[in-house]
Amino acid sequence: MKTLFATTVLCLPLLACAEIDVRSDPGADQRRGAAVVTPAAVSTSPATNAAPSRDGTGSDGLWYMYGQGNDAPDAAVNPGQALNAYRQAHGLQRLQQNGRLAAAAQAHARDVARMGKVGHTGSNGSTVGARAKAQGYNYSTVGENVAWTSRGFPTVMQIWDDSPGHRKNLRMREATQYGIGRSGDYWVLVVARPL
């Protein structure tokens, strides 16, 4: 029993996010009273995928170098490319990076990092739909995945793929665009289809 409890407690942070937030009703957030803030000016042009620089960042700001063990470099991974490779491997269309969704994902990643917990509700009570709208993104469908791990984006993808709810968002057929945010070891993916 102690082993089962210890295993559950140790694995819980990796799998803590099982909720899916997919809405097809654009007015649902406001009717539920979720906070919606003024949209920020964010570029919506797709990012270019340049090779990573020495510090692991690329022109899209989403390249990272990961270490395992004694900080030995793992590999340069572009989360957007990894997401699209995953989708293509499952017979799904590639998603286009969207700056407004990336801003919503990044804001929530910073928020959950500040709170120190994985979840879909922001510190102000916001939902993924409200956060997307706050960045000026009007959607017909939106979904969000959140994860925490120090192992890097390949592990994040594995965590999400191992969870039925998160896998549903990774494989959402209706989605055409995505945004990814990271703050420390907290990762957020937002997938959506605009109106």
**DSSP labels, 27-58:** THHHHTT----PPP----SPPP-PPP-TTS--
Q: What is the rounded CA–CA span in Å between residue 79 and residue 81?
A: 5
Mean pLDDT for 47-67 is: 34
Question: Collapsing DSSP states into helix, strand and coil, what is residue 140?
Answer: strand
Q: What pTM does this model have?
A: 0.65
Q: With cut-offs at 50, 70 and 90, classify the pLDDT of residue 76.
A: low
CB contact at 8 A, 131 and 124: no
Q: Is 3 exposed, middle or buried (0-12, 13-18, 19+ CB in 10 A)?
A: exposed
* Phi, psi dihedrals of residue 41, rounded to the nearest 5°: -80, 115
Share of the chain above pLDDT 70, in %: 61
Tell me: pLDDT of 36 over 90.
Answer: no
| Each residue's pLDDT tens digit, 127-143 | 999 999 999 999 999 99
Task: Enumerate domains of the chain plus CATH numbers.
Answer: 2-40+78-194 (3.40.33.10)
Mean pLDDT for 18-39 is: 29
CB contact at 8 A, 52 and 76: yes
Tell me: pLDDT of 26 over 90.
Answer: no
The CA-CA-CA angle for residues 137, 188, 80, to 5°, reads 80
